[in-house]
Amino acid sequence: MKRWLLAAALVLLLFMLPHPGTELGELHPVSLLLVELEGREIRLETDTHMIGRGETLDAALRNLESTTPGYLFLDTAENLVLRSSTLFLLPELSQCLRPNVGVCVAEGPLQLDALPVFLKIHSPGLPLSGAVDEKSIPILYETEGGYLLENGKNL
């Protein structure tokens, strides 16, 4: 009897764990995140066309979370696209994204629609964990009808 009570108490304790689960149907997974400056605000855009703005990265992320239907799920992000003006956010971004997210810097106008597929095939090869101290970050250009990823250009 004591054993059963102990088992029941343990199961109850498991229900009280601080980390609650999230239902799969409520997730809004992101595979690409674009970070750029819009005036004095930081602008975040996902491959699913969700946009968040804020004066700080935290504020922009909170705004992005509030505008996203469901639960914004950044753990599935595979690529991070920055502008040269937002490179200073790398240390902060490395706190909220996985360390092996591929990083590149975009120049010029950019359409995100086909970018995840392009980056899946042509990986930037530089993980976020290594990009913080890296001076040479791959550059992404949009060309006519496609993209071009140029590796190793010094910024």
Partner 1 sequence: MSQFLTDQDIRALFGNAGDFVTRELTCQGFTLYAYAIDGLTSGADTSEYVFKPFADHLTGETMQLLYNNALRGGIYNSVAQECRDLQEVAQKLVNGFCVVLFPGSGALAFEVKTGEKRSLSAPEVENTVKGPKDAFTETVRTNTSLIRRHLRTPSLRLDETKVGRKSLTNVTVAWLDGVTAPDLVERMKDRLHSIDIDNFLTPGAVEESVTGSRATAFPLLQYTERADTFCLGLLDGRVGLLVDGLPLGYLAPVDLGCLMDSPEDLSRDYLTASCIRVLRFGALLTSLLLPGFYIALTVFHQQMIPLPLLRAMIESKRNVPLSSGWEVLSLLIAFELLQESGIHLPQAVGQSVSTVGGIVVGTAAVEAGFISPAALIIVSLSGICGFALPNRDLAEGIRIWRFGLAILGATAGLFGVTAGLIALSIHLGGLKSLDVPYLSPFQTNKDNGILRKRMQHRLFRNPAGSPCSRRRQR
The two tokens of residue 62 are: 């909170």
Comparison of 29 and 54: residue with beta carbon closer to partner 1: 29
Query: Cβ of 30: how many Cβ atoms within 10 Å?
Result: 23
How do 102-107 and 79-82 pair as beta strands?
parallel
| Gyration radius of the chain's alpha carbons | 19
Give the binding range for partner 1 (CB under 8 A) out of 24-32, 81-89, 132-140, 147-155.
24-32
Is 27 among the residues that bind partner 1 (CB under 8 A)?
yes
Give the binding range for partner 1 (CB under 8 A) out of 49-57, 59-67, 72-80, 128-136.
72-80
Residue 116 C-beta: closest distance to partner 1, Å: 9
Is 15 among the residues that bind partner 1 (CB under 8 A)?
yes
Is 29 among the residues that bind partner 1 (CB under 8 A)?
yes
Contact 21, 71 (CB under 8 A): no
The two tokens of residue 73 are: 């799920």
Is 109 among the residues that bind partner 1 (CB under 8 A)?
no
Comparison of 23 and 144: residue with beta carbon closer to partner 1: 23
The two tokens of residue 25 are: 């149907």
- Binds partner 1 by CB under 8 A, chosen from 1, 2, 5, 11: 11
Is 1 among the residues that bind partner 1 (CB under 8 A)?
no
Is 24 among the residues that bind partner 1 (CB under 8 A)?
yes
DSSP state letter for 84: G
Is 94 among the residues that bind partner 1 (CB under 8 A)?
no
Residues 6+ apart with CB under 8 A from 22: 71
Residues 6+ apart with CB under 8 A from 4: none
The two tokens of residue 27 are: 């997730």
Summarize as ranges the residues that interact with partner 1 (CB under 8 A). Answer: 11, 14-15, 17, 19, 21-25, 27, 29, 31, 73, 75-76, 78, 98
